[in-house]
Amino acid sequence: MISPARSWREAPQRYRLEAAKCTGCGRVCYPPRVVCPSCRGRDFEHVVLPREGNVVTHTVVRVPPQGFVEQSPLTIALVQLKDGTRLMVQMADVADPETVHAGMPVRLEFRRINSDGEAGVIYYGHKAVPA
């Protein structure tokens, strides 16, 4: 479980869609990392990612993990943002998963991801919605 303090610390970064750009090789990491997966560099500068992009590929999860059952089926998309950064996000506002396709324009929005019923904790993160 994520402690309130940790959630608070992570919130601004998540909300603004901040990523870390490696000063060594230019790779953009989202979420930010401590060590660059490409060149093992440790120097990063903060960049704010664009919210607009396109679906590269997607998958539909018809037997979702615990905590996501109410949102079944889940559509998970690999989205390429306008600056070339790729990230995996859940699709939202899609009534029919069959309408999601490669090249589909999307926009990232800050949404409720799921809730832990027992603890009453609600997790937020970015989801892609049709643009």
For binding to Zn ion (CB under 5 A), which residues are involved? 22, 24-25, 27, 36, 38-39, 41
CB of 90 to Zn ion, least distance (A): 27
CB of 21 to Zn ion, least distance (A): 9
CB of 87 to Zn ion, least distance (A): 17
Strand 74-81 and strand 52-61: pairing? antiparallel
Pick between residue 36 and residue 77 the one whose CB is nearest to Zn ion: 36
Pick between residue 22 and residue 108 the one whose CB is nearest to Zn ion: 22
* Residues 69 and 53 sit within 8 Å (Cβ to Cβ): no
Amino acid letter, residue 96? D
CB burial readout 47-80, b (16+ within 10 A) else e: bebebebbbeebeeeeebeeeeeeeeebbbbbbb
CB of 30 to Zn ion, least distance (A): 14
Look at the block and give the residue holding tokens 């999860």.
61
